[in-house]
Every structure is written in C-alpha cells, then in structure tokens.
Structure 1
Amino acid sequence: MGLKGFAEGGIASIIAGCSTHPLDLIKVRMQLQGEPNPNPVHNLRPALAFQNGSSIHVSPTPQTPQIKPRMGPIAVGVRLVQQEGVAALFSGVSATVLRQTLYSTTRMGLYDVLKQKWSTGGNMPLSRKIEAGLIAGGIGAAVGNPADVAMVRMQADGRLPPAQRRNYKSVVDALSTMVKREGVTSLWRGSSLTINRAMLVTASQLASYDQFKEMILEKGLLRDGLGTHVTASFAAGFVAAVVTNPVDVIKTRVMNMRVEPGAEPPYSGAMDCALKTVRAEGPMALYKGFIPTISRQGPFTVVLFVTLEQVRKLLKDF
C-alpha cells in the first residue's frame, strides 16, 4: 500500500512538473533580475589614453553597471522566446523530470505513508497534516537537491552572456560537470534552503489541499469530484506560493551563483544572500517573481492533485 502512494505521487508530479515548466523557468529568470554581476572582471572596459594624437590602450577601468528596468512575466517570456527561441521555454526540462522523480515521489509517498499511519479512523487534524508535510518535504528535498541545482542552472543559463554560459547538454551532463569542476558538495549547494522550502511547500500544499477538500465535502458545498479537486488544489497552490516565495528567491540566487576558483563567493550562505538582497533591492525583492510563482504554483497544484486523484482511481484495484 505504501509503495503505491510513491508511484501515484511520482506520476502526478512528473506530469504537473513538465506541463508547468515554462512558467517555472520565467519565475527563475524574474528572481534573478536586479542581481549584481558576481564577476566584475567581465564588466571592465579598456580605458583610452592619448599620446601624440594617437590613442593607446591602458589598463581596464570598471564599467558602471547599467540598472535594467524590471520586467513582468509576459515581457520576460516574450524576450526569452525572441532571444533564445521557443525551445528555450523547456530549458532544463530533463532536470525537472529527475527532480520530480526524486523529490516529489519521495515527499508525496512519505506524506501518504504518514497520513495512513497517523489517521485513526476519521480525518487527521490539521496540525498532524502539517507535521507530516514538514517531515516528508524535508526528506524529499535532501534526496532531490542535486537535480534542483541542475534545474536552476539550466533554466538561468540563457540570461548569461555567451562567454559565461555553462551550456549543459542535459541533467546528466550538468551533474557530472559540477562534480568535476566544483566537487561533489556542489550538488548539495543551497540544500538547507531547498529543505526549508520543501518543508514549507509540502506542509502548506498537501496539508491545505487535504484540509480544503475535507471542508468542502463536510459543508456539502460540492460533491467529491473534479470541481472539489480543482477548487481545493488552487486554494492550496495560493497558500503554498505566499508561504514559500521568499525562500524560493534566496534558493534560486544561492544555487545559481558562480564561484570562481580562489575568489570570494557572492554569498556566504542563505542569510547573507537574504540580507544583501533586501539591502540592495528592498524587502519586496523577496516576493520577486510572485506573479509567475502563483501563475505556476496554481496550475501546478491543480494539475498535480487532479492527476493524482485520477491516478488513484486507475490504480485502486492494484
């Protein structure tokens, strides 16, 4: 019974992850807007000096970075397609599939196991659902972190100048290149953030879905069918987006940072990244990409739970 929960959760998560991948990619690009260039060396321009009427090159001087106006999700999406082509909307989709296979299969299956274990006949109290979500999310994130790092990097690659791009061919190439160049520990870069975010996502998403669904059915607002599943899942997606967006912004920036050999990393950790982001861009920077987050989290959660309910029906006799 327990293994079936893992299979059901995994199938639903992979379908939901692939169908909403372009929205996730736009969200990542928006979260990186306004971030200073971690490699000022690429931002240098040669200064010119004049001698006997002719110009000669001298050592480069730092070029003042231009502050680009922030763009909304539609503008980000349109520019992405214009500059990188329609296929770029699915950059890193192989990492999404791996991430959902590792992370979501684990968290959905564990949540199901804990729910069955802790339910005593009736419905499980909300506090217990949240507890089950926190445990399942944390373990799932630890398992899936390497795929998460690869996904963020592959999605962010197109915004870098061609000379700085990592150009990973696939998620396998991304993971092997990271291990070769940055060591095995780079696969768990930002893992504390991933784990915190996953605990919050799973607790807010799965627990609130169950809670909203039970409430709708108990009050007789709708019957147990598609209408109930869509309503409960969209409400759960909104709750999850509000709770997790700040952690998501920091996670994206920490995972995407480029650490040059012998150079200071742009951020020493999650807290340092949060403080620098708020100082440089204001507290609302932590809600950067919120519109694409809710635009993705809503449909993702709806597709996830509607698919999950259908998969459960198909597999109920197994």
Structure 2
Amino acid sequence: MGIKGFVEGGIASIVAGCTTHPLDLIKVRMQLQGETQVPNHAVQTLRPSLAFQTTGGAAAAPSSAIHVPQPVRVGPIATGVRIVQTEGVAALFSGVSATVLRQTLYSTTRMGLYDILKQKWTDPEARTMPLGRKIAAGLIAGAIGAAVGNPADVAMVRMQADGRLPPAQRRNYTSVIDAITRMSKQEGITSLWRGSSLTVNRAMLVTASQLASYDQFKEMILEKGVMKDGLGTHVTASFAAGFVAAVASNPVDVIKTRVMNMNVEPGEKPPYAGALDCAIKTVRAEGPMALYKGFIPTISRQGPFTVVLFVTLEQVRKLMKDF
C-alpha cells in the first residue's frame, strides 16, 4: 500500500508540474523584478548613488544584491508576452526537465509519505483524520520531500530565470543534469542545497496547507451533501486548497527564488548571507508587499496545479485500485 501511494502521487505531480510550468516560470520572473545583481567590483562605484535609496540613510547593501530602480513592473500576462517576444515560445518551458526531476523527487516523496501517515493516523471508527493530524502529516511529508528534491529545485529556478539576464551573463544550462553537474563543479556540492532551509519551510507550508486543506474541504462537501464524490467535488476542493497554499507560501517562495538565483562569484561575498538577510534587504529596498510579488501568477499557477494534481490523483487511484 505504501509504494502505491508514492506511484499515484508521483504520476499526478509530474502531470500537474508539466501542465503548469509556463505559469511557474512567469511567477519566478515576476519575483525577481526589482532585483539586479551587480558584480562586486562595481558595487563601490554604484554605492554613492544608491545610498540615498536605503531606509534611514543606512549604507547600501554591502554585497552584490543591489536593488536598483526598475522600469514599471508588469503583470503576468505582459510578462508572458514579453518572454515570448524576446525569447520565443519555447522559453515558456525553460527548465521543464528540472520540473520533471523535481516532481519525481520532491512531490513523489511528499505525496507518498502523506499517504502513509494518513493511513496510520486515520481514526478507524470515524474513518477520518482530525485536521491537526492532517497538518502534522503535511508538515513532516513536505519537509522530507523538499530535502530530497532541493537540487532539482535550485536547477529549475536558475533555468527559469536565465532568460532575463543579458546574453553574456546567462548560465545557458542545456538540461537539469547539466545544471546540477556544473553547479557541483563550479560552486561545490553544497550549492545544490542552497536555500534548502527555505525550500523545506515552503514545502512544509505548501504540503500542510494543500493536502490537509484538500482532504478537509472534500470531507466538508461530502458531509454536508453539497455534491457527491465526483469531478465537481474534486475541482472545488482542490481549487480552494490551492488558494490556501498560495497565501501561506508566497513570502517564503519569493525569498527562496532570490536566494537560489543569486550569482556567487568565486572568492567574493554572496549577495545574501541567508534567508533572513534576503528578506530584510528585499523589504527595506522594495517594501513589505515585495514578499507577495508574483502572487497573481502564484495563485494562477497554484490553483490549476492543485486542481490538475488532485483530479489526476483521483483518476489514477481509480485505475490502480485493484493493484
């Protein structure tokens, strides 16, 4: 039974990940708006002109993560159109190989573990699991899944963000394997777990809110007799779960994207000292709402992703019920 949960969750996750990949790419590009990474040797030149931008007259960021005034920020549709115009339609699927690997490692693990914990912690008499246990199961499953899938997550963020850089600064990874191999050689094996604390925190929030919410909404709909157990119930419960997951995870997602994407030059200080440093610099330079950058594409992606995930999962379970 345990292995079956991993297989079902893995298939559903890969289908959902590939289907919504362009929306995820647009989200990443929007989360990086307002951030310009400048080589450290240029920081001293820029510092005098940027000093007045910081809060309370404090000195500008002492690393290469300089937040420079950007052109008027554009929405998800305009961002998508601009990507197609400047990089071609294929650019919307940049990093899709990393998405497949990430879903194979991360989502297969979290879905399978959640299924195992759900079976162990469900009250045999009531045949339901209390909300608190659902959340706990989601937190545990999300944390372990994120730790396993972090290398693919870093590779995916970098491949999705590459097109926004000038041609001379692009990493031009040819595949997720190329990205992971080059990162290991050029930046050390530990670079594959860059931002892992953020990935784990985000995954715990997403998994707990997404899976627990879906089960809870589904149970409420069925108990109240609003709808029968079918496609309508699955779509309604999954979209509601997607909204809850997007609200809970967006701030951590923004910081995770920036930390993973930062350009660390050999022998030089990283743009961000860590997650907290990144959060402080982002809020100080761009305001608190910067943590909700990309929220529209996040919910635009999280909603469909969660719907496709659970609708596919329910269908796969039906097909595999006799196995």
> Normalising by structure 1, what TM-score?
0.92
Match of 1:288 in 2: 293
* Aligned-partner residue type, residue 116 of structure 1: Q
| Structure 2 residue corresponding to 1:88, chosen from 88, 91, 97 | 91
Task: Tell me if 1:178 matches 2:183.
Answer: yes
Task: Tell me if 1:204 matches 2:209.
Answer: yes
What's the offset of the Cα at 1:264? 1.3
Unaligned runs of 5+ in 2: 47-66
Task: Tell me if 1:35 matches 2:38.
Answer: no
Mapped contact 1:229–1:306 kept (Cα < 8 A) = yes
Distance 1:248 1:223, change over 3 A: same
Distance 1:251 1:157, change over 3 A: same
Match of 2:100 in 1: 97
Task: Tell me if 1:110 matches 2:113.
Answer: yes
SS in 2 for 1:260: coil
- Higher relative strand content: 1
SS in 1 for 2:128: coil
What's the offset of the Cα at 1:66? 5.2
- CA distance in 2 between counterparts of 1:272 and 1:186 reads 18
- CA distance in 2 between counterparts of 1:148 and 1:8 reads 21
| Structure 1 residue corresponding to 2:70, chosen from 59, 63, 67 | 67
Match of 1:151 in 2: 156
SS in 1 for 2:37: coil
- CA distance in 2 between counterparts of 1:300 and 1:42 reads 41
- CA distance in 2 between counterparts of 1:66 and 1:108 reads 41
Task: Tell me if 1:125 matches 2:130.
Answer: yes
- CA distance in 2 between counterparts of 1:42 and 1:164 reads 15
- State the Cα deviation string for residues 80-124 of structure 1 (Å, max 9, x = none): 000000000000000000000000000000000000001121210
What's the offset of the Cα at 1:40? 5.7
Match of 1:275 in 2: 280
Task: Tell me if 1:237 matches 2:230.
Answer: no
What's the offset of the Cα at 1:42? 6.9
Mapped contact 2:162–2:171 kept (Cα < 8 A) = yes
What's the offset of the Cα at 1:38? 3.3
Unaligned runs of 5+ in 1: 46-63
4+ residue stretches of structure 1 with deviation over 3 A? 40-45
- State the Cα deviation string for residues 160-213 of structure 1 (Å, max 9, x = none): 000100000000000000000000000000000000000000000000000000
* Aligned-partner residue type, residue 130 of structure 2: P
Mapped contact 1:38–1:257 kept (Cα < 8 A) = no
What's the offset of the Cα at 1:39? 2.1
SS in 2 for 1:34: coil
Overall identity of the aligned pairs, in %: 82
- CA distance in 1 between counterparts of 2:12 and 2:96 reads 16
Match of 1:56 in 2: none
Match of 2:263 in 1: 258
CA RMSD of aligned residues (A): 1.4
Match of 1:60 in 2: none
- CA distance in 2 between counterparts of 1:65 and 1:253 reads 15
SS in 2 for 1:274: helix
Mapped contact 1:5–1:113 kept (Cα < 8 A) = yes
Question: Which structure: larger Rg?
Answer: 1
Mapped contact 2:37–2:263 kept (Cα < 8 A) = no
* Matched pairs, number: 300
SS in 1 for 2:36: coil
* Aligned-partner residue type, residue 179 of structure 2: A
Task: Tell me if 1:20 matches 2:20.
Answer: yes
| Structure 1 residue corresponding to 2:82, chosen from 79, 83, 88 | 79
| Structure 2 residue corresponding to 1:300, chosen from 290, 295, 305 | 305
What's the offset of the Cα at 1:37? 2.3
- CA distance in 2 between counterparts of 1:315 and 1:114 reads 20
| Structure 2 residue corresponding to 1:223, chosen from 208, 211, 228 | 228
- CA distance in 2 between counterparts of 1:282 and 1:108 reads 35
- CA distance in 2 between counterparts of 1:42 and 1:94 reads 35
Match of 2:147 in 1: 142
- CA distance in 1 between counterparts of 2:194 and 2:246 reads 23
* Aligned-partner residue type, residue 88 of structure 1: A
- State the Cα deviation string for residues 29-50 of structure 1 (Å, max 9, x = none): 00000013232657989xxxxx
